[in-house]
């Protein structure tokens, strides 16, 4: 099912070379595709970086420098060619409180510490734990992120430069209405149609780039009065300069920035690793999680020292890159360099691009990102999985990605534990010698410990009782305690409990805890003792 969903996702993006390996020989034709993909991504990065800088309460160049530096370093050293990184909204909403209370210099120091934490996570190879994220959580993640991307574009339908004071504070401006609104919607529609039709005509130019270029030509050629990139803010600037954060080197400063750095590092890594998995499934690549952690960390350390707000992987821009044909590191590097070129040289031209064209591109990203198949599989998957998909989607939209993923993993783990807890049961029979054998079925762990205790009839059993674990596993300390509790009941009743057919790891757990006394020869199948007496009192219970 997972591969079917991803295949459908790829078809919606209309990707002809979906499984092109990133290390394929870089021919002139491939280089052209990579450069054009990078240009398309760079154009889409501009309004996003500016908008997220506003969210964080910093100057637009702080967001643009982050997009350039984070994008460049991760493109060169990241774990998955094809991914695009930059300033993101998920991080910006956390930064706003820090900037408002302590200023932008503390933000730069926090970004440096955030990067060091991410490097440490990469060195410790903690990125591999992303494999513990269940597929329903991934579906909820992409659905929630698609909705977030869509909602973020709605701010472009406000009159630029206006602020409304209301009962609950200020809002981002007055909504467009009448003719301006219809003009904006029409241009968005034109861009989306071009992106949809262009692959059917030619693939020489990436469809998103064609959509931006044709729509911009219409607006500029006919002098249409519509919001443009320059209405958000001027993106003109120079090269980013090395800058040591102007904060006091003290324990008090460390206490201020550490909580923010930990949260930002966690959000950045979660979003980056989930995007890495998604891009990896689309391009047929695996691995690179730890490398991506280190690359993200290094990029944030550098960004903090060059006046940037930090960042992480961007699923929207990554999808634009993949849709435009970008498969190698060249596209990501080109996107970062084009963005720097926009800042230093080409800002007057870029500021003339209509926001409607970029909104149209992002709306197509939303359509391609949302897992539409999840709406139909909700009726076919287990109820717990359907609940997780919906829950993660909602939490992603109304809170943030990190919390959504953690919540989804916890709920999935609890559902799994509950399902396994209900599987514990036993088949019983009496041997010719008069001993009662309990053939335990299902895993024995904290969730099934109580059910395990209820399997045994201490009062009605004979003097010899055998617990056969050939079809079970002793998983954790709660299981050990459950075994000891049952053994204690039999001991108090003057009866003996023996354990049989423990797997090697189960035997190791019980032996390490001091629970077993070997009573017979090695079992021919498991090559460990087949019958055990259980010591009681090891855990202080008897």
Question: 355-369 and 135-153 helices cross at what angle (nearest 10)?
Answer: 160
Strands 312-313 and 516-518: unpaired
228 three-class SS: strand
> What is the rounded average pLDDT of the residues 92-103?
90
Are 135 and 260 members of one domain? yes
Residue 307, Ramachandran bin (φ over 0: left; ψ between -120 and 50: alpha; else beta): left
The confidence band for 491, taking pLDDT boundaries of 50, 70 and 90, is: confident
Are 477 and 398 members of one domain? no
> What is the rounded average pLDDT of the residues 142-154?
86
pLDDT at residue 15 is higher than 50: no
pLDDT at residue 7 is higher than 80: no
Are 144 and 283 members of one domain? yes
Residue 392, Ramachandran bin (φ over 0: left; ψ between -120 and 50: alpha; else beta): alpha
pLDDT at residue 111 is higher than 80: yes
> What is the rounded average pLDDT of the residues 176-193?
93
Are 221 and 320 members of one domain? yes
pLDDT at residue 79 is higher than 90: no
Query: 416 is written with which tokens?
Result: 């799994």
Structural domain contains residue 352 = yes
Instruction: Give how many domains the chain has, as a whole number.
Output: 2
Are 530 and 496 members of one domain? yes
Q: Where does 283-356 show beta strands of DSSP type E?
A: 312-313
Query: 155 is written with which tokens?
Result: 């701010």
pLDDT at residue 369 is higher than 90: no
Residue after which a domain boundary falls, among 384, 412, 440? 412
Mean pLDDT of the chain: 83
pLDDT at residue 270 is higher than 80: yes
> What is the rounded average pLDDT of the residues 446-457?
90
Q: Using one digit for the tens of pLDDT, what is the confidence trace for 220-241?
A: 999 998 999 988 888 999 999 9
> What is the rounded average pLDDT of the residues 514-530?
43
Closest by CA position to 41, among listed 355, 272, 317, 314: 317
pLDDT at residue 9 is higher than 80: no
Are 481 and 382 members of one domain? no
Closest by CA position to 232, among listed 103, 53, 364, 97: 53
Structural domain contains residue 520 = yes
Closest by CA position to 95, among listed 62, 71, 123, 68: 62
> What is the rounded average pLDDT of the residues 90-102?
88
Are 205 and 100 members of one domain? yes
Residue after which a domain boundary falls, among 357, 389, 412? 412
Are 259 and 117 in contact by the 8 Å Cβ rule? The answer is: no
The confidence band for 52, taking pLDDT boundaries of 50, 70 and 90, is: confident
pLDDT at residue 411 is higher than 80: yes
% residues pLDDT > 70 (the chain): 84
| Residue 496: CATH number of its domain | 3.30.750.24
Q: Using one digit for the tens of pLDDT, what is the confidence trace for 63-76?
A: 999 999 999 999 99
Q: Which residues lie across from 517 on neighbouring strands?
A: 533
Integer Cα distance of 95 and 372 in angstroms = 32
Residue after which a domain boundary falls, among 351, 383, 412? 412
pLDDT at residue 14 is higher than 70: no
Are 406 and 442 members of one domain? no
Structural domain contains residue 55 = yes
The confidence band for 277, taking pLDDT boundaries of 50, 70 and 90, is: confident
Position of tokens 């959000």?
A: 267
pLDDT of amino acid 284 = 66
529 three-class SS: strand
| Integer angstrom CA distances of residue 179 from 220, 321, 382 | 18, 33, 48
Are 439 and 375 members of one domain? no
Contacts of residue 59, defined as CB under 8 A and 6 or more positions apart, other chains included, come to 53, 104
Integer Cα distance of 272 and 267 in angstroms = 8
Position of tokens 């993101």?
A: 88
Structural domain contains residue 338 = yes
Are 401 and 499 members of one domain? no
pLDDT at residue 520 is higher than 90: no
Integer Cα distance of 109 and 106 in angstroms = 5
Structural domain contains residue 162 = no
Structural domain contains residue 168 = no
Integer Cα distance of 394 and 410 in angstroms = 15
Structural domain contains residue 172 = no
Are 424 and 441 in contact by the 8 Å Cβ rule? The answer is: yes
Predicted TM-score (pTM) of this structure: 0.74
Are 191 and 357 in contact by the 8 Å Cβ rule? The answer is: yes
pLDDT at residue 253 is higher than 50: yes
The confidence band for 215, taking pLDDT boundaries of 50, 70 and 90, is: very high
231's enclosing H/E stretch is helix 229-232
Burial class of residue 165 in the structure, from the number of CB atoms within 10 Å of its CB (0-12 exposed, 13-18 middle, 19+ buried): exposed
Are 404 and 432 members of one domain? no
Q: Tell me the residue range of the domain where 519 lies.
A: 422-534
Are 309 and 213 members of one domain? yes
pLDDT at residue 375 is higher than 80: yes
pLDDT of amino acid 212 = 92
What φ, ψ does residue 163 adopt, rounded to 5°? Answer: -135, 135
> What is the rounded average pLDDT of the residues 443-462?
90
């Amino acid at each position: 099912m997972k591969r079917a969903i991803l295949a459908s996702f790829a078809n919606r993006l209309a990707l002809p070379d979906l499984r092109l390996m990133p290390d394929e020989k870089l021919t002139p034709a491939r280089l052209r595709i990579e450069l054009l993909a990078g240009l398309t991504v760079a154009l889409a990065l501009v309004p996003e970086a500016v908008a997220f800088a506003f969210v964080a309460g910093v100057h637009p160049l702080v967001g643009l420098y982050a997009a350039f530096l984070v994008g460049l370093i991760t493109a060169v050293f990241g774990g998955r060619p094809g991914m695009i990184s930059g300033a993101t909204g998920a991080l910006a909403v956390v930064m706003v409180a820090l900037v408002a209370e302590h200023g932008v210099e503390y933000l730069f120091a926090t970004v440096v510490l955030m990067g060091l934490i991410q490097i440490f996570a990469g060195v410790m190879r903690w990125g591999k734990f992303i494999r513990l994220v269940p597929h329903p959580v991934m579906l909820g993640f992409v659905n929630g992120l698609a909705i977030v991307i869509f909602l973020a574009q709605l701010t472009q339908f406000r009159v630029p430069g206006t602020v409304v004071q209301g009962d609950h504070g200020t809002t981002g401006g007055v909504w467009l209405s009448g003719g301006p609104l219809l003009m904006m919607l029409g241009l968005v529609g034109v861009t989306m149609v071009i992106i949809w039709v262009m692959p059917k005509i030619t693939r020489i130019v990436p469809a998103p780039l064609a959509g931006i270029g044709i729509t911009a030509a219409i607006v500029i050629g006919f002098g249409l009065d519509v919001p443009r990139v320059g209405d958000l803010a001027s993106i003109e600037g120079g090269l980013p300069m090395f800058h040591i954060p102007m904060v006091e080197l003290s324990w008090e400063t460390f206490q201020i920035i550490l909580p923010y750095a930990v949260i930002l590092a966690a959000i950045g890594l979660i979003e980056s690793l989930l995007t890495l998995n998604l891009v990896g499934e689309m391009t047929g690549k695996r691995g690179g999680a730890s490398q991506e952690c280190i690359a993200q960390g290094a990029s944030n350390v550098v960004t903090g020292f060059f006046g940037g707000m930090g960042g992480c992987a961007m699923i929207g821009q990554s999808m634009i890159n993949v849709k435009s044909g970008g498969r190698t590191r060249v596209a990501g590097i080109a996107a970062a360099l084009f963005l720097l070129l926009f800042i230093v040289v080409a800002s007057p031209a870029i500021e003339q691009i209509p926001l409607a064209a970029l909104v149209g591109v992002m709306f197509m990203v939303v359509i391609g990102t949302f897992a539409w198949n999840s709406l139909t599989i909700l009726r076919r998957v287990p109820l717990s999985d359907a609940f997780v998909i919906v829950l993660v989607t909602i939490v992603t939209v109304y809170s943030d990605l990190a919390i959504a993923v953690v919540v989804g993993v916890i709920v999935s783990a609890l559902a799994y534990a509950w399902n396994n807890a209900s599987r514990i049961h036993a088949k019983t029979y009496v041997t010719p010698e008069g001993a009662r054998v309990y053939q335990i079925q299902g895993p024995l762990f904290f969730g099934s410990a109580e059910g395990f205790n209820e399997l045994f009839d201490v009062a009605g059993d004979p003097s010899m009782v055998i617990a056969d674990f050939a079809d079970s596993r002793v998983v954790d300390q709660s299981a050990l305690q459950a075994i000891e509790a049952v053994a204690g009941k039999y001991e108090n009743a003057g009866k003996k409990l023996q354990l049989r057919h423990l797997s090697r790891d189960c035997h190791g757990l019980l032996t390490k805890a001091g629970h077993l006394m070997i009573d017979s020869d090695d079992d021919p199948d498991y090559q460990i003792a087949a019958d055990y007496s259980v010591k009681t009192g090891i855990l202080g219970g008897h």
